[in-house]
Structure 1
Amino acid sequence: MAKGDIILGPNQYGKAECRLVRVTRDTPVHRIEDLTVTAQLRGDFTACHTDGDNANVIATDTQKNTVYAYAREYGIGSPEQFLLTLGRHFVEDFEHVTGGRWESQLHAWDRIAVEGEPHDHAFVREGRELRTTLVQRDGDDTWVLAGFRDCTVLKSTGSEFHGFPRDRYTTLAETKDRILATSVTVWWRYASADLGDWDARYAAIRDTMLETFAGLHSLALQQTIFAMGRAVLERFPEVAEVKLSCPNKHHFLVDLEPFGLDNPNEVFYAADRPYGLIEATVQREGEPEAPAAWANVAGFC
């Protein structure tokens, strides 16, 4: 192959955003698992791109059907375990598939309360964040990433912002007491794909982050998100690295003086844009270099 020849570079394909709802009916109290699953395969698909030869192409429709069939045959249990099972099937059962990427978002449901008791089979969609999961395989190597997004949090006090440089374009006033609000998007990378008990671990890591947000007296959103990532790494040795992306949901004090009223940090207007966007990776010093599967996993850091 001569220099300058045009060749196919990295590629992947699959079925995106398969809506999967599984109802477990083995007792009168039903359980709902609601996922959006995206499956993508990597491997020897050059002939399809260059010559239209589909001999090695597992149709995206087949991938979709496998998602539903595996939900019936193996159950879901946890997003991590379900995606690991899918990845194992495609990589180990198809010789020309060398790896892939399987991602999900979990849509949570609460039971509707009837006369103070949770109903056996009636649910209401939770308004909380989406739980996110990503499994990547490259041959025998597997990486499990977990996290959540659209988690909106707010502190009505316990936050300051001051001491920043000022020039002729600076109009922001310094403050010793402000509302701190953000919508947290976070991914963390597990050091192993064989941990098990994924649901309990996810809940504990999530709670650790939110407790840190609530408990830290913040001097900057940067300080807060670093503390959230550090708390996870300190408490969970099985987590190798944490990535956070947090837009600053600004709340500005309304000037009520024209109406003859004071405003002792009580009335604000919430500005949706533009907004500060704070992102960081929190890692242990000397940690082995992250796999390529982790790079730009959420489009940041």
Structure 2
Amino acid sequence: MGQNQYGKAENRVVRIVRDGATHHIKDLNVSVALSGDMDEVHYSGSNANVLPTDTTKNTVFAFAKEHGIASAERFGIHLARHFVTSQEPIHRARVRVEEYAWERIGTAGEGGHSFVRRGQETRLAQITYDGQEWEVVSGLKDLTVLNSTDSEFRGYAKDAYTTLEETRDRVLATSVFGRWRFNWTDDAQEMPDWETSYEETRQHLLQAFAETYSRSLQQTMYRMGARIIDHRGEIDEVRFSLPNSHHFLVDLKPFGLENDTADGAVYFAADRPYGLIEATVLRDGCEARIPADLTHP
């Protein structure tokens, strides 16, 4: 038997805490994968070491009530610790969490129970525990950003099949899929403030995107990762996967129109094919550990 795992994927958990007229909502999609001494269930069909996936589902919901959901990371830590320490055959637990953000409509007390989903961005967390060491990877996906100028693309290699024209002024847009690995690995260490870390890391990557005069999406991506490493001491590794959402100036000359970038330019937003730019930014002395193909669940 090679590597194997099992569990319950995509448990949709919504917890609502009522603080008088003001309510607080946490909306998660939780996937649990367990591995350990599981050879016999594959060889002979013996389920003696198998905790039912239905039980893992029930545990997710019970823990949401019993422990609350302070953050996606902390909730995943509670679950991973429970599965590894309560079941001897289970040696490793991986918990992946997607969190969907809701914003309150109106002020607390007045409309304190009404919410609207915030865009398409999804917060991510993956917690892995083997009974001794933790690995926590947080991140986000579907964070769509765009710079309408301060981006160029020129001086690139050309061959017989190159048709793309150089430009000194272009639209730069992408949908960010980013993950970052924490250097918290041991219960003896002080645990990061997961909520603050997420919000500030997100803000740093946005600021880097906005403030970088871009000569390539690669350059912008590196600046985003480097800014996070420079400002967030709890993070050792950042990995981005950024599609280049191309915006092409439309040729309006057949209609007697000049499509001038200085005067209300019109673009065609192409969704495919697209350039896909990926890279990892590391703190000095650290090794890359986030898988290039990390997906959810």
The TM-score, its normalising length taken from structure 2, stands at 0.93
The number of aligned residues is: 288
What's the counterpart of residue 102 of structure 2? 109
Equivalent runs, 1:70-219 vs 2, <5 Å: 70-113=63-106, 119-193=111-185, 194-219=190-215
Q: Deviations over 1:237-262 (max 9, x none)?
A: 21111000000000000111111111
How many angstroms apart in 2 are the aligned matches of 1:182 and 1:243? 15
Q: Deviations over 1:75-126 (max 9, x none)?
A: 0100000000001101111111111110010011112238x98611111111
Selected match of 1:18 from 11, 16, 34: 11
Q: Deviations over 1:4-53 (max 9, x none)?
A: xxxx1110100000000000114321111000000010111111111110
Mark the runs of 5 or more structure 1 residues left unpaired by the alignment: 1-7
How large is the RMSD of aligned CA atoms in angstroms?
1.5
Aligned to 1:161, the other structure's residue is in SS state coil
How many angstroms apart in 1 are the aligned matches of 2:20 and 2:116? 20
* Pair 222,182 (structure 1): closer, same or farther in 2 beyond 3 Å: same
Aligned to 1:33, the other structure's residue is in SS state strand
What's the counterpart of residue 279 of structure 2? 280
Aligned to 1:14, the other structure's residue is in SS state coil
Kept in 1, the 8 Å contact 2:97–2:126? The answer is: yes
- Letter of the aligned partner of 1:95 in structure 2? E
Kept in 1, the 8 Å contact 2:106–2:112? The answer is: no
How many angstroms apart in 1 are the aligned matches of 2:131 and 2:109? 49
How many angstroms apart in 1 are the aligned matches of 2:285 and 2:83? 34
Kept in 2, the 8 Å contact 1:134–1:145? The answer is: yes
How many angstroms apart in 2 are the aligned matches of 1:195 and 1:256? 57
* Pair 129,118 (structure 1): closer, same or farther in 2 beyond 3 Å: farther
Aligned to 1:164, the other structure's residue is in SS state coil
* Pair 158,27 (structure 1): closer, same or farther in 2 beyond 3 Å: same
How many angstroms apart in 2 are the aligned matches of 1:118 and 1:236? 36
Aligned-pair identity (%): 49
What's the counterpart of residue 5 of structure 1? none
What's the counterpart of residue 268 of structure 2? 269
Q: Does 1:255 align with 2:255?
A: no
How many angstroms apart in 2 are the aligned matches of 1:100 and 1:74? 18
How many angstroms apart in 1 are the aligned matches of 2:132 and 2:293? 20
For residue 285 of structure 1, report the CA deviation from its aligned partner: 3.2
Aligned to 2:228, the other structure's residue is in SS state helix
For residue 196 of structure 1, report the CA deviation from its aligned partner: 3.2
For residue 286 of structure 1, report the CA deviation from its aligned partner: 2.1
Kept in 2, the 8 Å contact 1:12–1:100? The answer is: no
How many angstroms apart in 1 are the aligned matches of 2:125 and 2:110? 28
* Pair 271,154 (structure 1): closer, same or farther in 2 beyond 3 Å: same
- Letter of the aligned partner of 1:77 in structure 2? A
- Letter of the aligned partner of 2:65 in structure 1? R
Mark the runs of 5 or more structure 2 residues left unpaired by the alignment: none
- Letter of the aligned partner of 2:233 in structure 1? P
The structure 1 segments of at least 4 consecutive aligned residues displaced by more than 4 Å after TM superposition are none
